[in-house]
Amino acid sequence: MSFLRTLRMLVLGETWVLPLGVLVVVLAGLGLRALDAALWREAGGPLLLAAVVVVLLAGVARTSRR
C-alpha cells in the first residue's frame, strides 16, 4: 500500500524529482530529434517511454526512502 501512497504523492506534485526528470526527458528528446530525425521517427516513442518510467521509478525510490 505504501507504493500507491508514494505514487499518489508524486502525481499530486509533492516532490520536485518528477517535474525536473520530465523536463530533462523532454529536452533530451528534442536534442535527439534535432541530431537525428530518422532515429527519432523510429525509436522516439519507446525511448521517451523508457525514460519516463526511469524517472518515475527514481522518484518513487527517492520518496520511499523518507
Distance of CA 2 to the CA centre of its chain: 20
Cell numbers at 57, concatenated: 521509478
What ranges in the chain are assigned the alpha helix state H?
2-11, 17-35, 37-64
Residues lower than pLDDT 50 in the chain:
none
Q: Which of 57, 22, 28 is nearest to 44 (CA)?
A: 28
What was the pLDDT predicted at 20? 84
Q: How far apart are CA 64 and CA 66, in angstroms?
A: 5
pLDDT single digits (tens) 36-45: 999 989 999 9
If you average pLDDT over every residue of the chain, what do you get? 83
Domain of residue 25, residue span = 2-64
Say how many domains are in the chain.
1
